[in-house]
């Protein structure tokens, strides 16, 4: 791995730690990721994870990268290519939105309503996103695209 690739790897790993919510809605800790990797048959120590994340360790084996992808439940290509990294960032945004208790509260209230009513609410949400500006409007269909 070249210096640039190692730096990219550290950035991509750090991005997952900072932004991907765990089951409790909070970012994963090194301890949790090490355990999740172990549960999936990969041995990755917490201190080594910290070194990879900071860029101090620069040459993870393919098996380590594979274990990290499994532990975070992302495609291994997230660590390898820009296009897949962007796709993973989009998925992270979806997970963050789905982990939001307010989103769950609203979704529960929609359950049982007629499809026509849900369609009206969906259109209203689109209008509200467009009012927030182009960046918000471009995120309108992240969840739709993933389904």
Helices (H), the chain: 3-19, 30-39, 46-54, 62-72, 82-99, 101-110, 115-132, 134-138, 142-146
Identify whether 85 is part of a domain.
no
The answer to whether the pTM exceeds 0.85 is: no
Distance of CA 48 to the CA centre of its chain: 21
Identify whether 89 is part of a domain.
no
Identify whether 90 is part of a domain.
no
Identify whether 56 is part of a domain.
yes
Instruction: Report pLDDT for 131.
Output: 86
What long-range pairs does 42-50 form, CB within 8 A, spacing at least 24? 42/66, 42/67, 42/68, 42/70, 42/71, 43/67, 44/68, 44/71
Identify whether 14 is part of a domain.
yes
pLDDT per residue rounded down to tens, the chain (147 residues): 444 455 688 999 999 999 888 888 888 999 999 999 999 999 999 999 999 999 999 889 999 999 999 999 988 888 876 665 566 666 767 766 677 788 778 888 888 889 998 889 888 888 887 888 765 545 544 444 443
Query: What CATH number did the domain enclosing 70 receive?
Result: 1.10.260.40
d(CA 31, CA 38): 11
Q: Domain total for the chain? A: 2
Identify whether 92 is part of a domain.
no
Q: Are residues 76 and 106 in the same domain?
A: no
Length of the chain counted residue by residue: 147
Q: Are residues 9 and 73 in the same domain?
A: yes
């Amino acid at each position: 791995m070249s210096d640039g690739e190692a730096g990219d790897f550290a950035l991509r790993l750090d991005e997952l730690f900072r932004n991907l919510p765990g089951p409790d809605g909070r970012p994963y800790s090194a301890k949790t990721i090490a355990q999740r990797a172990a549960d999936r048959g990969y041995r990755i120590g917490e201190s080594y994870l910290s070194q990879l994340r900071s860029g101090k360790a620069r040459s993870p084996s393919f098996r380590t990268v594979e274990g990290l992808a499994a532990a975070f439940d992302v495609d291994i290509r997230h660590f390898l290519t820009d296009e897949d990294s962007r796709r993973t960032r989009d998925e992270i945004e979806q997970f963050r939105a789905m982990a939001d208790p307010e989103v769950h509260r609203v979704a529960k209230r929609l359950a049982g309503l007629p499809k026509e009513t849900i369609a009206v609410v969906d259109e209203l949400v689109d209008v509200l996103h467009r009012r927030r500006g182009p960046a918000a409007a471009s995120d309108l269909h992240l969840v739709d695209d993933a389904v």
